[in-house]
Amino acid sequence: MSELWLGCTSRGSRAEVARALRSVEPFAVLSFADDATEMRSRFREEEPQSVGAIVGLTGRGVSDVNLAAALAQDGLASEVVLVGRQVSGSLRSRASRAGIDRVIDLDELGTSSGRPGGSSTSSARGRAAGSLGRQAEGGHPLGAGDACTCDNRPAHGDATGLGGPMGGSVPESGRAGGVPSGRSPAHREGVGAAGGRGQGETGLPARGVPAEGGVGLPAGERAPVLAFASGRGGVGKTSLVASAAAVMSSWGLRVALVDLDLGCGDLHTRFGVGHPVDLVRLAGEVPPTPEQMGRGCARCMDEVYLWGPCERPETAELVSPLVRPLISYLSSRFDVVLVDGPAGLSDAAAQAAQLADRLVLVHDDRQGGLAALGRTSALAVRLGVARTRIVRVRNMDDLRGDEEVDFARIEPGLEGARLFRVPDGGEEAEELFAAGETERLLSSRSEFSEAVSYLMAQLLAELGALPDGEETRHALELKPGRRRRGLFGLRREVG
């Protein structure tokens, strides 16, 4: 049975259709089309027999059974499932004659456990009805509090959130602890720009199946993806990513980290993780199953989990096909996804940049730094990254010094990039990063921690994903390094 699914139903019935799919395929990855025309069109864009179709409770337009029959006739879906209520025997017979694989009666599903409560399917292609409620290989049938990757939570998780461990998964290495499945309560009351995500400014598709990899969730139902890149090494990018994760964890957000500096990545050392999980372990099957992706991580700290890098640099090329399905999967399970890439844009990092809601380009003030950053930003633009999605961080900056002329704006892709300034954390920061004590560093009040908090609060607010709370409101108002200037750049003296 397929793990990737596309559904068509009314917006108010998505939770019910997800529950029906969960009863037969607990670890399915599900997204929705808006109507019958869009659904059939999207199947024509996919590899035949790679995605399943589930239809029901649409309430308008083409009838459910006719749409399901048309999809079966098209022959592009790996399986066609029809969902209804009080399904009659004549409807089951009609579905069977039309080539519909399975009919699920929601009234016959268990109301408390999420497991099927009776015989609810018919199969025209010989699939046994006994597969209902089956245990997925390596996992567990889903109960009331279990996880399901066919997750249709609304933007702030107000109605249909699913809790519990993600697919029963446990990290293979790193610190002990399972991976969370649902979004945190802190994510549910967001503050930020009107419209937030899903206003044509998102990296993952607003709806539908990416050209490669897993099925994307609608923009309002997934976490923002922030990809960090640089023009050259040694600019403190990895430490900045680790700091950002620690800050957001302190706000109650669940953070997924992906280290795509595949040959030399050391993001794990910032958290004291001795042996991260090799991303190549997911390369046996493309796309990897949700169960495999859920297990392929190391726990860094409370609500922060890390995927990658590679154990051996020579195997890095095997990871490229995994990037899209992995990021799509993580964006459906966490509140924020942070991707740390190498200097420049490798193939894997380039894919992450294309998927990202924001591409964060990090540099310092050393000679030649802006030129190197400009080459990376120009490449990102050629790859299709919108200039409005690019932001710039001048790291290890002197916030007390005079602001110089910003030559970065002449570089391709940086013309309109918003600039954030983050100071050098000093010797103490270097020592704590080296000791894997990022959480301790960010828990103390300092110019560095405030600058990182301000950066992340601004980015999440722009995307409509900032949780509402005293700490986050304070972070939005920090404005570190902001100096008032008068006419011709003369600094005003404030008495």
pLDDT reading at 155 higher than 50 = no
Strands 336-343 and 255-259: parallel
pLDDT reading at 339 higher than 60 = yes
What pLDDT score was predicted for residue 138? Answer: 31
pLDDT reading at 489 higher than 50 = no
Cα distance between the two ends of the chain: 71
Q: Using the CB atoms, write b or e for 311-339: b if 16+ within 10 Å.
A: eeeeebebbbbbbbbbbbbbbbbbbbbbb
**pTM, entire model:** 0.59
Q: Using the CB atoms, write b or e for 442-468: b if 16+ within 10 Å.
A: beeebbbbbbbbbbbbbbbbbbbbbbe
pLDDT reading at 251 higher than 90 = yes
Enumerate the β-bridge partners of residue 81: 54, 102
What pLDDT score was predicted for residue 459? Answer: 95
Q: Among 77-81, 167-171, 189-193, which is the least confidently predicted range? A: 167-171
Q: Please provide residue 257's backbone torsions phi and psi, each rounded to the nearest 5 degrees.
A: -110, 135
What pLDDT score was predicted for residue 153? Answer: 32
d(CA 224, CA 493): 40
Percent of the chain whose predicted confidence (pLDDT) is above 90 = 34
30 compared with 83, residue with greater pLDDT: 83
What pLDDT score was predicted for residue 402? Answer: 56
363 half-sphere exposure, CB direction, 13 A CA radius? 24
In this prediction, residue 230 has a pLDDT band, given cuts at 50, 70 and 90, of very high
What pLDDT score was predicted for residue 271? Answer: 95
In this prediction, residue 437 has a pLDDT band, given cuts at 50, 70 and 90, of very high
Longest dimension (CA), the chain: 84
Q: Among 88-92, 146-150, 156-160, which is the least confidently predicted range? A: 156-160
* Domains of the chain by start residue, with CATH: 4-152 (3.40.50.2300), 185-476 (3.40.50.300)
Tokens of residue 160, six digits: 């249909």
221 compared with 371, residue with greater pLDDT: 371
pLDDT reading at 389 higher than 50 = yes
Degrees to nearest 5, angle at CA 438 with 156 and 294:
50
**All residues at 6 or more sequence positions from 488 whose CB lies less than 8 Å from its CB, including other chains:** none
> What mean pLDDT do residues 98-111 have?
83
What pLDDT score was predicted for residue 216? Answer: 39
d(CA 411, CA 380): 12
Tokens of residue 86, six digits: 């009080």
What pLDDT score was predicted for residue 94? Answer: 86
In this prediction, residue 183 has a pLDDT band, given cuts at 50, 70 and 90, of low
Mean pLDDT of all residues belonging to the chain: 75
In this prediction, residue 490 has a pLDDT band, given cuts at 50, 70 and 90, of very low
> What mean pLDDT do residues 118-135 have?
33
